[in-house]
């Protein structure tokens, strides 16, 4: 029979969905800023492998010549990004939800098994609670990436007043590279996240909007549960 | 046991209904909030541009946000926070020339006739020659010059500390005003700086670059070096200096940039 099972708190859902458009605006306005000095690329022995970004990309998204506008958007939406992220972290720490989020002891070994399972190489999947080991690693990583974006962002934004942050980020240049790399990281996270959400299906998706999952529980199993619960109850009432 | 059995019969229906209802309410709220967010975003995108004045060129709400953010971050400003300095050997030999506004558009300019004009509140103007400035103690700085566009360069400048200049010419009282405005002789480029930045110990009226008099395209004979600001505030070829409690006009703040532009 079907059972409603609470999965995600209201605050987790709220911050998740606020973060999504805010992060898009941050990346979009960040590109306006990056355009003004598009210095980054990946090259091996002077052979340029990747150049961020080709001209058609700037043209297609109308990015060229909008530095001032980009900064104005970026320095407004940074507040929403920061406050929203802070809300989530504070909530996760206080509510104890971090227990289901942070990777546990066997996380990396289990995450490997999850990966094999997802790639249809392995049939069985390690037992999991709210998040499987791969999710724990991914969602914790994205959290630290967010903290990293704020930190490197501040280091670039006020490198004189927050000189210690700038130093901590390895200097102005390295802070900029980190800030940029983290953004590329969000894009990769997003792509994998979308595929996984599509594969996980409706029940999983609904949980991030409505908060609950519908779980199929076998009546027999439930009877067992009830009896054990009942004995426990009795024990409690006796004492 | 009997009551329990009854519940079991009834339960599936209730749960199905519960699921439906909760899903409907949640997704309804989700859609409503999503629509609200899109409406808010469209409001911001379509927000009118500010009336051109001291600042201009950006949407009114975004300008308001820039100004509020400035107020917040100015709390962290301290004249004790010094810009990182480097050994002279690390300075670039040919610093980048990014803009010539106020220089290339001034054909009548003659360096030999140049005087710094200081506008005082009693409507009097002082004229100070470059030699008088060179007599004051010289301060050198090798630091990472940062452009708002995102590039930066280690550059070597020397001149008179702006605070030394103000003290020597007894301009401290004028400098009590909240802002200093600097303009090129032809008035084509102009910047405004808050008091804290002008009095910062690393802010210079520079007349030397890499140990030689500044070249024309770098702002000869006297330019501003204000390491706590982006390059856009480092006015080349200073013509006039004035003091005000209101924000003086600022070239890039009129084009949608943050007035403060502090680092």
Mutant choice from B146, B150, B261 vs A, greatest count of A C-beta within 10 A = B150
Alpha-carbon A36 to chain mean position: 28
| Strand (E) or helix (H) holding B182 | strand B179-183
Q: What is the pLDDT of residues B188-204, one digit of tens each?
A: 999 999 999 999 999 99
How far apart are the C-alpha atoms of B244 and B74, rounded to whole Å?
19
Percentage, residues of chain A above pLDDT 90: 44
**pLDDT, position A79:** 97
| Strand (E) or helix (H) holding B19 | helix B2-45
| Domains of chain A: residue spans and CATH | 2-238 (1.20.950.20)
Percentage, residues of chain B above pLDDT 70: 95
Nearest CA in chain A to B76: A161
Confidence of residue A89 (pLDDT cuts 50, 70, 90): very high
With an 8 Å Cβ cutoff, are B8 and A219 in contact?
yes
> Quick one: which of B252, B237, B234 has its CA closest to B145?
B234
Residues 6+ apart with CB under 8 A from B161: B137, B139, B201, B203, B204, B205
Which chain B positions have a beta carbon within 8 Å of A1's beta carbon? Answer: 11-12, 15
How far apart are the C-alpha atoms of B116 and B139, rounded to whole Å?
19
Return the HEC string of A74-137: HHHHHHHHHHHHHHHHHHHHHHCCHHHHCCCCCHHHHHHHHHHHHCCCCCCCCCCCCCCHHHHH
The residue written with tokens 């670059």 in the block is B209
Q: What is the pLDDT of residues A106-156, one digit of tens each?
A: 777 777 777 777 777 777 776 777 787 778 888 999 999 999 999 999 999
State how far residue B65 is from chain A, nearest Cα, in angstroms.
Answer: 6
Copy the structure tokens of residue B229: 């600001």
Asked if B228 contacts B197 with a C-beta cutoff of 8 angstroms, the reply is yes
Asked if B241 contacts B217 with a C-beta cutoff of 8 angstroms, the reply is no
Select from B34, B227, B255 the Cβ nearest to the Cβ of A68.
Answer: B255
Query: Taking the alpha carbons of A114, A119, A122, A123 in that order, is the dihedral positive or negative?
Result: positive
Alpha-carbon A231 to chain mean position: 42
pTM: 0.85
In 3-state terms chain B splits into helix, strand, coil percentages (rounded to 5) of 35, 20, 45
- CATH, range B60-255: 3.90.420.10
Select from B57, B77, B150 the Cβ nearest to the Cβ of A33.
Answer: B150
How far apart are the C-alpha atoms of A111 and A131, rounded to whole Å?
11
State how far residue B122 is from chain A, nearest Cα, in angstroms.
Answer: 36
Residues 6+ apart with CB under 8 A from A74: A26, A29, A30, A32, A33
CA angle A187, A190, A194 (to 5 degrees): 145
Q: Which own/partner pairs from A213-216 qualify as long-range (CB within 8 Å, at least 24 positions apart)?
A: A213/A4, A213/A5, A213/A7, A214/A2, A214/A3, A214/A4, A214/A5, A214/B19, A215/A2, A215/A3, A215/A4, A215/A5, A216/A1, A216/A2, A216/A3
Which chain B positions have a beta carbon within 8 Å of A71's beta carbon? Answer: 148, 257-258
Copy the structure tokens of residue A31: 């590109």
**pLDDT, position A133:** 76
State how far residue A105 is from chain B, nearest Cα, in angstroms.
Answer: 35
How far apart are the C-alpha atoms of A23 and A20, rounded to whole Å?
5
Asked if A2 contacts B116 with a C-beta cutoff of 8 angstroms, the reply is no
**pLDDT, position B195:** 94
Residue B139 has pLDDT above 60, yes or no: yes
Q: What is the pLDDT of residues A4-53, one digit of tens each?
A: 888 888 899 999 999 999 999 999 999 999 988 887 877 677 676 677 78
Residues 6+ apart with CB under 8 A from B261: B148, B229, B230, B232, B233, B252, B253
How far apart are the C-alpha atoms of A56 and A52, rounded to whole Å?
11
Residue A71 has pLDDT above 50, yes or no: yes
- The arithmetic mean of pLDDT across residues B29-37, rounded, is 94
Q: Does A37 touch chain B (CB under 8 A)?
A: yes
- B60-74 and A67-95 helices cross at what angle (nearest 10)? 60
Chain A residues 92-151 with CB within 8 Å of chain B: none
């Amino acid at each position: 029979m079907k059972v409603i099972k609470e999965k995600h708190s209201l605050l987790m859902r709220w911050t998740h969905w606020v973060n999504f458009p805010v992060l898009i605006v941050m990346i979009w306005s960040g590109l306006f800023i990056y355009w003004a000095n598009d210095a980054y690329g990946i090259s091996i022995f002077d052979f340029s492998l990747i150049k961020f970004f080709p001209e058609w990309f700037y043209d297609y998204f109308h990015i060229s010549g909008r530095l001032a506008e980009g900064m104005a958007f970026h320095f407004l939406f940074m507040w929403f990004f920061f406050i929203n992220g802070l809300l989530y972290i504070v909530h996760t720490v206080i509510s104890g939800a971090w227990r289901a989020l942070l990777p546990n002891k066997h996380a990396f070994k289990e995450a490997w098994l999850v990966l094999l399972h997802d790639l249809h190489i392995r049939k069985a999947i390690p037992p999991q609670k709210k998040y499987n080991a791969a999710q724990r690693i991914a969602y914790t990583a994205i959290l630290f990436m967010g903290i990293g974006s704020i930190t490197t962002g501040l280091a670039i934004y006020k490198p004189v007043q927050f000189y210690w942050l700038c130093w901590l980020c390895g200097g102005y240049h390295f802070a900029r590279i980190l800030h940029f790399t983290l953004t590329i990281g969000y894009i990769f996270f997003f792509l994998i996240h979308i595929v996984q959400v599509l594969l996980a299906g409706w029940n999983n998706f609904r949980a991030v909007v409505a908060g609950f999952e519908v779980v199929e529980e076998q009546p027999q199993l439930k009877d067992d549960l009830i009896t054990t619960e009942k004995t426990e109850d009795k024990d409690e009432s006796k004492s | 046991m009997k009551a329990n059995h009854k519940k079991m019969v009834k339960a599936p229906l209730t749960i199905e209904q519960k699921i439906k209802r909760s899903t409907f309410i949640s997704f309804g709220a989700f859609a409503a909030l999503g629509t609200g967010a899109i409406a808010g975003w469209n409001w911001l995108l379509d927000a009118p541009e500010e009336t051109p004045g001291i600042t201009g060129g950006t949407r009114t709400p975004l300008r308001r946000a820039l100004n509020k953010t400035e107020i917040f971050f100015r709390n962290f400003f301290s004249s004790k926070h010094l810009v990182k300095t480097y050994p002279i050997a690390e300075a670039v030999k040919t610093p980048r020339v990014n803009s010539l506004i106020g220089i290339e558009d001034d054909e009548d300019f003659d360096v030999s006739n140049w005087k710094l004009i200081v506008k005082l509140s009693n409507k009097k103007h002082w004229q100070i020659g470059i030699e008088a400035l060179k007599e004051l103690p010289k301060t050198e700085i090798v630091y990472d010059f940062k452009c708002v566009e995102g590039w930066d360069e280690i550059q070597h400048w020397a001149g008179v500390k702006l605070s030394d200049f103000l003290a020597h010419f007894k301009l401290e009282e004028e400098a009590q005003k909240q802002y200093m405005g600097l303009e090129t002789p032809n008035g084509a480029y102009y910047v405004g700086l808050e008091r804290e930045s002008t009095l910062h110990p690393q802010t210079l009226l520079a007349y030397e670059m890499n140990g030689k008099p500044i070249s024309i395209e770098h702002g000869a004979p006297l330019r501003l070096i204000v390491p706590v600001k982006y390059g856009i505030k480092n006015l080349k070829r200073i013509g006039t200096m004035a003091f005000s409690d209101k924000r003086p006009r600022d070239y890039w703040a009129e084009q949608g940039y943050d007035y403060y532009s502090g680092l």
